[in-house]
Amino acid sequence: MREIIMAYQGEMALKGLNKSTFEAVLMKSMRYRLQHHGNWKVYRAQSTMYAEPLDDTADVEAAFTSLSHIFGIIRLSRAAVCEKNFETICETAEAYLGQTLRGIKTFKVEAKRADKSFPMKSPEISRELGAYLLGKHPHLRVDVHNPQLEVMVEIRDFGAYVHGPKVPAAGGLPVGTAGRALNMLSGGIDSPVAAYRMAKRGMALHHIHFASPPYTSEGAKRKVQALAQIVSEYTGSCNLYVVPYTRPQEYIRDNAPDVLFTVLMRRSMMRIANIQAKKMECEALITGESLAQVASQTVQAIACTDAAQDLPILRPLIGMDKNEIVETARMIGSFETSILPYEDCCTIFTPPHPKTRPHLDEILEAEANMPGLAALEAEAAQQIERIRIRVGEEVDFIG
């Protein structure tokens, strides 16, 4: 019996004329992801994407899991493929789902005939296949409203497909169809979730991380790398840029009023991120900020941060509670790594009482008193290290 994976489109089905562009991007992601799971062929017909195993190297189980993390696919099913011949369809349904039917009490058959040259109409297929399966499993009862198993049969261009229910997949839009951004990745809980949420809307992204050795350790950097690796399951392969940020940070500490330190530092990080973003043709920055979570995330502090540079700053978590963010972090598998205790450059040198309502005027004045900062930022931007993150590679960070 031949088994195949069928992937159904979500929101992109509504994209009208652009739909084929979205589909092409999605198929490219599917092919890229399936490389790790043996030999596969990916194609589309009637708005459905098909992933077909070509030989025994294909690992259907692992491929199914990988595909369930690709944005743009709203549901997935594993299906048995057979000839478009009613008798063969009945035998295939029994061979593929008979085991499941033995363990339940109620079922129904739902047929869909996309290929109108097939001689039986959908209701007739449903009725006749239902009768055939009842003959094989006399203990079963048909329940059209609330069956324990829905047996689906689809008569399509390339064959007949028999499968159980479609399972929910990642949803969203294919990564790469909604621009490109640079995600500011710390070692915390929030920023990996921010990357996940923007990728879900179709954004391609790279990450940038600010490290301040020796205040922050090599372990802290490897933790961030592990987080980028974990979310690559959703974002796809990308780069992690690591900025050696010690000197600008020390300079701000030594030359600015204590209470403004955090906002001044965040503005400085944004300026460096802006330089790297433009180099990589990114059109926006992303952060994991959430309103009022900490002193630097009040609306006044955010206004000061925004004014530091000219790219839009996307903050997908701005209206989310911490517990909602944590729930997503658990779902995408980043939470356990995020809570490992490593230092972050944003939490060193922080004053005990940062100003929660800074004014841009006082910020600009403080910056005017730091004439050496621009050169240090330019130097840091020059020395950015690039780490390649490839989807599907093992996360070798053990804490």
In whole angstroms, how close is the CB of 191 to Mg ion at the nearest point?
7
Q: Return the residues of window 333-372 that contact ligand ATP according to CB under 6 A.
A: 344-346
Which CB atom, from 186 or from 274, has the smaller least distance to Mg ion? 186
- Minimum distance of ligand ATP from residue 212's CB (angstroms): 8
| Cβ at position 301, least distance to Mg ion in Å | 15
Helix extents (H) in 86-121: 86-102
By C-beta, is 54 or 292 nearer to ligand ATP? Answer: 292
Q: 29 vs 337, which CB is nearer to ligand ATP? A: 337
Buried/exposed code over 371-391 (b: 16+ C-beta within 10 A; e: otherwise): eebeebbeebbeebeebebeb
- Give exposure, 200-235, as e/b (b: 16+ Cβ within 10 Å): bbbbbbbbbbbbbeebbeeebbbbbbbbbbbbbbbb
Q: How far apart are CA 378 and CA 132, in angstroms?
A: 74
The per-residue b/e assignment along 24-43, b for 16 or more CB within 10 angstroms, e otherwise, is ebbbebbebbbeebbebebe
Using rule CB under 6 A, residue 147 touches ligand ATP: no
Of the pair 106, 293, the CB lying nearest ligand ATP is at 293
148 binds ligand ATP (CB under 6 A): no
In the bound state with ligand ATP, the residue whose beta carbon lies nearer, of 96 and 335, is: 335
Q: Is 261 an interacting residue with respect to ligand ATP (CB under 6 A)? A: no
Told to check if 294 binds ligand ATP by CB under 6 A, we report yes
β 2-9/238-244 pair status: unpaired
Distance from CA of residue 40 to its chain's centroid? 22
8 Å CB contact between 90 and 129: yes
Q: Is 316 in the site for ligand ATP (CB under 6 A)?
A: no
**Does the protein bind ligand ATP through residue 377 (CB under 6 A)?**
no
Number of residues that bind ligand ATP (CB under 6 A): 19
Which of 356, 364, 334, 376 is CA-nearest to residue 210?
376
202 contacts ligand ATP (rule: CB under 6 A): no
Pick what 66 binds: Mg ion, ligand ATP, none; C-beta below 5 to 8 Å, kind-dependent: none
- 190 or 367: whose CB is closer to ligand ATP? 190
> Does the footprint of ligand ATP cover residue 190 (CB under 6 A)?
yes
What's the DSSP call for residue 349? S
Q: CA–CA separation, 357 vs 353, rounded Å? A: 12
Question: Looking at 167-175, 225-233, 281-289, 353-361, which segment touches ligand ATP (CB under 6 A)?
Answer: 281-289
Count of CB atoms situated within 10 Å of the CB of 347:
14
Which residues form the interface with Mg ion (CB under 5 A)?
186, 188, 344
Backbone angles phi, psi at 175, to 5 degrees: -60, 130
Among 30, 74, 185, 384, contact with ligand ATP (rule: CB under 6 A) = 185
Q: Which is nearer to Mg ion, 192 or 248 (CB)?
A: 192
Q: Can you name the residues that pair with 349 across neighbouring β-strands?
A: none
Interactions with ligand ATP, residue window 208-247 (CB under 6 A): 208-210
Give residue 251's identity as a one-letter amino acid code. Answer: Y
Nearer to Mg ion, 73 or 345 (CB): 345
Binding site for ligand ATP (CB under 6 A): 184-186, 188-191, 208-210, 287-289, 293-294, 296, 344-346
